[in-house]
Structure 1
């Protein structure tokens, strides 16, 4: 028996077995990545495994019966002891095994960085932990969308608008944590108990109400409830003429602050800035605009812009309408949800938001929007100073390219605390965590996004980003394809997918996606025609000062041509403009 084992060792049979096993495992992992990319049948992986298992005994047989010599493969009994080089072959096999082990260990480390998507239980546990550790939970409130009790269902925009206006007034109160509109409105028409809603929103108080509008008369019923005990802290009914709507909003807001006065420990310093009286028709148009702005789709944004312009036409001094117009124009750029050239969209948006600030220099949302357009940190600081509960101000500030990763996380966590059910905030939170190396937490946040909007653009785009960060390029490509099936007109994503496919060696498909984008010169780079790529990029993008992808291609062209200074210039500009390509 010992002689057999010695002979097996001499003929490297054990080493071949080990090497074959490791190689087979690596091949299976590669196949797991490549099979979905190539859209091969599901049985392909099983076939690869079957072939691998079938080949194992043949590998052992050839290792036993044959020897690899300088003259080629010979039967073992044809090679004399003096001619045998099995020891040298064994060393080479050792090197191969070592290399395969390095590859396998590297892959395992990648795998460990990307846990399974998990279940919603993980997210619930995280939310419970956040709720337990949230500071000053007794000073927190969520304003639910007021129920439209009017005979006309089209008046829903009005009841939503009143709810938001009250929320905005409350958000200015120091020490009062007010959940953002997007999270609170997630529970519109929900049958969940208030205690469950409060738990998910991580607040201790809920304001709910209803609105009945008839002609020029309005009845608003509002009640403030302590969620844990279901105790009514305050309730009142307001019967007014519509001309007094702004006074009613202020009256309700101040009554709520008074009801929470002892909890807030505000003493007499609890006043908030009163709402400015505006022409009622202009305000109605503004509320309609906000209703469509929140949908974040090209068609609805076009309607929103029309309503904001109508509002401005009726009341040219209405700062909120100008701010809404600016926000909508920014969203209508080709790098967001519309097709306006980014420079045109930003210039028009900047004019509108500057007008809003000129009319009302204490408008927190206007400063946040101007910060979004220009990237100026001081605008975000001013916005947060005026409204410490404005989640988007924290989020947009977190995405500035001059922030350290720790600063970005601190800001985005604050936005998430204020707006825990916003898919936009959650998506940016997940990608920021991923960039910081907090992969597991990023996947927990992704689970939440998926539970809120399983097939939404943000869910899909966050998935392909996280898979890409984790090195699972096959899955990243798969979800980019899914995204582009839904949004085939996204030229920048077409180009990004082309780059990834090119890196994976799928040249034909890469060229197909380049031709579906606006960035055709990439085709020549993929085809390794570098000189023509450089020429075409310089012709098509002489300045590229309003196009992130154009700036990136111009930077790459200059780098390939050895113009380092110019390459740095264009890459730096691209970094600045890339700030505008977030998913806000």
Structure 2
């Protein structure tokens, strides 16, 4: 039997008939039909119903049988859910059990006030498992989409291509916490093990190590002494510092300006409360470095502090991947030490092979600015396999296609990202860049306005909108937006590099040179793109363009864009 280009063997067909409950529906339908026919034969004569009615009933029931079988095949029959079978592989596939998805642990508190706590526990277990080379761990972004889902573990596993699912719940009361965890084999839809942990809050970090160890043992994976050391690292933090850390990570995940600011304050408190907790230092380094990456504060106010926090975390735990990621980011986008930054990211990937941030930042903030786009694509492909549902990873793939000047692919990827319910704001910015390159300037301006409206890239969107008007000859609109940009810069930080691009687009090369030199002095994060991004193609024949590219040192200019 064949459906589409997929073929069933007799054994596979029988297994699929059983999985879709077709056999059960056939037997159940037959049993109910017999009861109805027998009842009709007994009741109809008493009621004076003609004999023909019994024959009609038999024919109706026979006609309904193929319909019932079709519906059973078309839709999976499972408790509380009907799933379109077209969305499920027709033939059962043995998914690798060493690929694990840790679903968001359910918050069982009375008022659902401990979501940050449950999410933090989930993320830390993911991080623990990611350090084990034997496992391929689905990243946070993809699994968080299944919070409060009604889908079965088996269905989620098939969607994430993960053969093992870890799920559980958390209930915190006073100074105690109860965690119930279950490991499910997706291929059999059976529990491998279930465990209930009742611990004091001060033992919570050790509990994460215990759960990760139980997962490994449940999958019959041998742990080396180095693996065990990785799992137990940082398990003795002060409980109050750890709670602040969890609250800060919850805020950081919003990626909002306010969220980053509040996250930093909480992490500074956690660091002061427990100076020997590497997680607080590493998360603080990430918060500071991300603030610099997004051009939200002057680099000299964030990057040096980020580097110091990362180094302190690494003094406490030399393989703490989050600290390595932050250090690699600072070395690339602020210190412009490209070789050293690359080595740091490679060290992070070796320390935690399933860490998506390491591969994404390495691709986008180290390899791509150097024009090493093929290597960057390879790194992002691995990130995509680890985090298949991440809109940020997919948007990053679109941006790499843009840098390659493959606008058809960039647009195709980005259209899919923007079709999501809540696309990242930066996706609209990328959409504007692509439209501008293709000469669809109205579309580009519409995308830049959208990026500005949804937030997250407000200043960069305004600068891009102004530059687009300038390049299209709309000098009045461009000047008005430049003035608005300068007003914003008078009260809060705006990268001089963004202002320089608007001046350059207006043809004011003197002001552009002055602003770009200011940006070089402060080491603005946006300068890493001057050499490789199509948005600077109009300036490539100008001496100031080469001056900036040489200063950044990432990219060796050629005659071809």
Please say if 1:485 is aligned against 2:450: no
The structural deviation recorded for 1:569 is 2.7
Contact 1:416/1:429 (8 A) holds in 2: no
How far apart, CA to CA, are the structure 2 residues paired with 1:539 and 1:432? Answer: 27
Report the equivalent of 1:395.
360
**Alignment match, 1:239:** 198
Render the CA deviation track for 1:292-334: whole Å, top value 9, x for unaligned: 111100111111111111111110111110111111112223x
| Residue 388 of structure 2: aligned partner | 420
- Out of 385, 388, 398, the position equivalent to 2:350 is 385
Does 1:250 pair with 2:209?
yes
Label 1:150 to 1:256 Cα distance change in 2 as closer, same or farther (>3 A).
same
Aligned equivalents of 2:349, 2:422: Cα separation in 1:
32
Matched, 1:342 2:320: no
**Residues 107, 118 of structure 2: 8 Å contact kept:** yes
Counterpart selection for 1:513 from 468, 481, 484: 481
Shift of 1:539: 7.9
- d(CA) in 2 for partners of 1:229 and 1:321? 40
Q: In structure 1, what is the equivalent of residue 336 of structure 2?
A: none
* Aligned residues of 2:97 and 2:185 also touching (Cα < 8 A): no
Change (3 A) 1:371 1:458: same
Matched with 1:182 is 141
Q: Indicate which of 364, 368, 374 corresponds to 2:321.
A: 364
Matching of residue 145 in structure 1 with residue 110 in structure 2: no
* Equivalence for 2:331: 374
Are the aligned partners of 2:278 and 2:312 in contact in 1 as well (CA < 8 Å)?
yes
Is the Cα contact below 8 Å between 2:95 and 2:187 reproduced in 1? no
Structure 2 Cα separation of the partners of residues 245 and 301 of structure 1: 25
Within 2, Cα distance between the matches of 1:551 and 1:538?
18
Give the alignment's TM-score, normalised by structure 1: 0.67
2:279 is the alignment partner of 1:309: no
Quote the Cα distance in structure 1 between the aligned partners of 2:515 and 2:191.
Answer: 69
Q: Which has the higher contact order (CA 8 A, sep 6+)?
A: 1
Please give the residue correspondences for 1:174-213 in structure 2 after superposition, counting only pairs within 5 Å: 174-213=133-172
Contact 1:149 1:212 in 2 (8 A): yes
Change in Cα spacing, 1:190 to 1:538, as seen in structure 2 (3 Å) is same
Partners of 1:540 and 1:410 in 2: how far apart?
Answer: 32
| Residue matched to 2:177 | 218
The separation in 2 between residues aligned to 1:415 and 1:488, in whole angstroms, is 23
The equivalences for 1:59-74 within 5 A come to none
The match for 1:582 is none
User: Is 1:495 aligned with 2:452?
Assistant: no
Q: Determine helix, strand or coil for the equivalent of 1:138.
A: coil
Mean CA deviation greater in 470-479 or 505-514: 470-479
Q: Distance in 2 between matches of 1:250 and 1:481?
A: 47
Counterpart position of 2:256? 297
Deviation string, structure 1 residues 226-283 (Cα, Å, up to 9, x no partner): 224321111111122223222221111111111112xx58799964621421111111
* Mapped contact 1:172–1:388 kept (Cα < 8 A): yes
Aligned CA distance change for structure 1 residues 220 and 337 (closer, same or farther; 3 Å): farther
The count of residues paired between Structure 1 and Structure 2 equals 440
In the alignment, is the contact (CA less than 8 A) between 1:246 and 1:275 conserved in 2? Answer: no
Change (3 A) 1:201 1:446: farther
The CA deviation string for residues 73-125 of structure 1, in whole angstroms up to 9 with x for no partner, is xxxxxxxxxxxxxxxxxxxxxxxxxxxxxxxxxxxxxxxxxxxxxxxxxxx9x
> Aligned pair in 2 of structure 1 residues 310, 132: CA closer, same or farther (>3 Å)?
farther
2:417 aligned with 1:452 = no
Judged with a 3 Å threshold, the aligned counterparts in structure 2 of structure 1 residues 361 and 275 are, in CA distance, closer, same or farther, namely closer
Unaligned runs of 5+ in 2: 1-83, 333-340, 487-497, 556-561
Helix, strand or coil: the match of 2:180? strand
CA contact (8 A) 1:491 1:516 kept: no
Q: Secondary structure at the match of 2:159?
A: helix
Q: 1:527 to 1:229 in 2, by over 3 A?
A: closer
Which residue in the other structure is 1:54 paired with? Answer: none
Following superposition, the deviation at residue 385 of structure 1 comes to: 0.8
Q: Where do 1:156-167 residues align within 5 Å? A: 156-167=115-126
Q: 1:320 aligns with which of 268, 273, 279?
A: 279
1:471-529 Cα deviation digits (max 9, x unpaired): 4333222211222233498333322222222222222212222222236677766665x
In structure 1, distance between residues paired with 2:154 and 2:98 = 16
CA spacing shift, 1:200–1:466, aligned 2, 3 Å: farther
Once residues 504 and 388 of structure 2 are traced to their aligned partners in structure 1, the CA distance between those partners, rounded to angstroms, is: 43
Check whether the contact 1:431–1:465 (CA below 8 A) recurs between aligned residues: no
- In our comparison, the structure showing a higher alpha carbon Rg is 1
Equivalent position of 1:569 in the other structure:
547
The question of 1:534 aligning with 2:510 is answered yes
> What is the rounded CA distance, in whole Å, between the counterparts of 2:199 and 2:548 in structure 1?
59
Q: 1:429–1:445: 8 Å Cα contact kept in structure 2?
A: yes
Residue 517 of structure 1: SS of its match in structure 2? helix
Distance 1:175 1:452, change over 3 A: farther
The root-mean-square deviation of aligned C-alpha atoms, in Å, is 3.6
Consecutive unaligned residues of structure 1, counting only runs of 5 or more, are: 1-123, 578-584
Worse-matched range after superposition: 314-323 or 275-284: 275-284
Q: Is the Cα contact below 8 Å between 1:206 and 1:224 reproduced in 2? A: yes
